């Protein structure tokens, strides 16, 4: 991208110069990169009905993403497939806008999926939800704890310690309200004696630490139980759904040993990914937030 005139943008995704314009005045077409509605100033080619958010013109040409740490991903303005669409390896849906792609592995993700936050909060759950790249269940699916529907073997948001799973879209929906327990219940009065106050705080802190440790131990025990229960529930749910849909396909049986290896690999991979995720998250977010 090159800027000769401050009001004209040249972007590799379009053969003509794009002109800065205010979305409210002109355009009803959605952004060709992210398919979302126009907002703020847009970079547009009017004769072609082609328009991009300013932030979408500023996406980096290459990123590394924790979902595919072995290769860098390249920004594609149009999918290189006949028919002009791709299947997103993140959300599983068809895509037509900008994508990040590993040409070596034919790995494609929506630009918007690649820029999903690696963790977020949702009012339906008290803990942070982390983006994970496949459900950790043998069934390769999950049931969403927000909309109660089945989710497929794709990216999801998840609180691992509570086995709370959610579709990406569900976790991102109506996500601007703070969760109730994060709100201040009441503000404590200013202490007369600062030292006493500090001492009390220390005592409380120690007590809380101990409670926390006890809770953690209990949690660890329950966690294993819950995981098994949830997997069973999910299996039942999926069976019901399969019966309803009367699918002919039989789920393939894996030998027990393979599942253990899978779990181990998953754990190792997860550890690695979390390290990379922090770095990449920052990089991606600088790029995303840099523009608008
Ligand atoms: Zn856009
Ligand atoms: Zn044009
Ligand atoms: Zn996607
Ligand atoms: Zn690759
Ligand atoms: Zn859902
Ligand atoms: Zn939780």
Ion ligand 2: residues, CB within 5 A, are: 16, 45, 48
Q: How close is the Cα of 274 to the center of ligand 6, in Å?
A: 18
187 Cα to the center of ligand 3, angstroms: 43
Q: What is the pLDDT of residue 259?
A: 47
Section 123-133 average pLDDT: 96
CA of 114 to the centre of ligand 3 (A): 8
Domain positions in the chain are: 8-57, 62-114, 116-175
What pLDDT was estimated at residue 155?
A: 97
* pLDDT at site 186: 30
Neighbours of 86 (CB within 10 A): 22
Which position has the higher pLDDT, 2 or 52?
52
| Nearest ligand, measured from the Cα of 157 | 5
| C-alpha of residue 217 to centroid of ligand 1, in Å | 46
Question: Residue 261 pLDDT > 70, yes or no?
Answer: no
pLDDT in the model for residue 239: 79
197 band by pLDDT with thresholds 50, 70 and 90? very low
Dist. CA 99 → ligand 4 center (Å): 14
Q: What is the pLDDT of residue 26?
A: 59
Residue 2 DSSP one-character state = B
Give tens-digit pLDDT for 176-187: 444 333 333 233
pLDDT bin (cut points 50, 70, 90) of residue 246 is low
Instruction: State the average pLDDT over residues 79-101.
Output: 93
Q: Lowest mean pLDDT: which of 64-68, 107-111, 148-152, 193-197?
A: 193-197
In angstroms, what is the span from residue 122 Cα to ligand 3's centroid?
Answer: 20
Long-range CB contacts (within 8 A, 24+) of 86-92: 88/113, 89/154, 90/114, 90/116, 90/133, 90/154, 90/155, 90/168, 91/154, 91/155, 91/168, 91/169, 92/152, 92/153, 92/154
Average pLDDT over every residue of 39-66 = 94
Task: Find the 51 Cα to ligand 2 centroid distance in Å.
Answer: 9
Which DSSP category does 259 fall into? H
Q: What's the pLDDT score for residue 23?
A: 62
Q: What is the whole-number distance in angstroms between the Cα of residue 3 and the centre of ligand 1?
A: 19
Residue 184 Cα to ligand 6 middle (Å): 20
What pLDDT is attached to residue 176?
A: 46
Query: Which of 88, 102, 13 shows the shortest CA–CA distance to 53?
Result: 13
3-class SS letters over 160-208:
CCCCEEEEHHHHHCCCCCCCHHHCCCCCCCCCCCHHHHHHHHHHHHHHH
State residue 4's pLDDT score.
62
Ligand index nearest the alpha carbon of residue 23: 1
C-beta contacts of 108-111 below 8 A and 24+ residues apart: 108/76, 108/79, 109/65, 109/67, 109/73, 110/34, 111/33, 111/34, 111/56, 111/59, 111/75
Which pLDDT does position 174 carry in this prediction? 73
* Comparison of pLDDT for 252 and 231, the residue scoring more: 231
Query: How far, in Å, from the CA of 277 to the mean position of ligand 3?
Result: 18
pLDDT for 262 equals 46
Which residues have a beta carbon within 5 Å of ligand 1, which is an ion? Answer: 31, 33-34, 53, 56
- Lowest average pLDDT, out of 32-46, 92-106, 227-241, goes to 227-241
Q: What is the mean pLDDT of residues 220-225?
A: 74
Query: What is the share, in percent, of the chain residues with pLDDT greater than 70?
Result: 67
Nearest to 132 by CA among 234, 273, 275: 273
């Amino acid at each position: 991208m090159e800027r000769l005139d401050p009001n004209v943008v040249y972007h590799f995704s379009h053969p003509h110069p794009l002109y800065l314009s205010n979305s409210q005045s002109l355009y009803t077409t959605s952004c060709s990169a992210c398919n979302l509605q126009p907002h703020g100033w847009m970079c547009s080619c009017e004769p072609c009905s082609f328009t991009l958010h300013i932030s979408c013109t500023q996406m980096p040409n290459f990123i590394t993403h924790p979902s595919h740490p072995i290769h860098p991903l390249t920004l594609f303005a149009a999918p290189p497939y006949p028919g002009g669409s791709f299947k997103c390896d993140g959300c599983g849906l068809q895509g037509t806008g900008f994508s990040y792609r590993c040409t070596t592995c034919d790995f494609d993700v929506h630009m918007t999926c690649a820029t999903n936050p690696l963790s977020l909060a949702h009012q339906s759950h008290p803990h942070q939800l982390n983006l994970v790249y496949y459900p950790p269940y043998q069934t390769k699916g999950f049931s969403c704890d927000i909309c109660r529907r089945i989710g497929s073997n794709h990216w999801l948001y998840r609180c691992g310690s509570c086995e709370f799973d959610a579709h990406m879209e569900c976790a991102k929906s109506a996500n601007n309200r703070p969760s109730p327990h994060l709100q201040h219940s009441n503000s404590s009065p200013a202490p007369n004696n600062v030292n006493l106050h500090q001492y009390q705080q220390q005592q409380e802190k120690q007590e809380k630490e101990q409670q926390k440790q006890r809770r953690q131990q209990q949690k660890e025990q329950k966690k294993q139980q819950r995981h098994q229960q949830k997997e069973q529930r999910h299996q039942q749910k999926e069976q019901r759904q399969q019966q309803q849909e009367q699918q002919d396909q039989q789920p393939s049986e894996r030998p027990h040993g393979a599942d253990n290896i899978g779990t181990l690999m998953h754990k190792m991979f997860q550890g690695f990914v979390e390290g990379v995720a922090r770095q990449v998250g920052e990089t991606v977010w600088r790029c995303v937030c840099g523009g608008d």
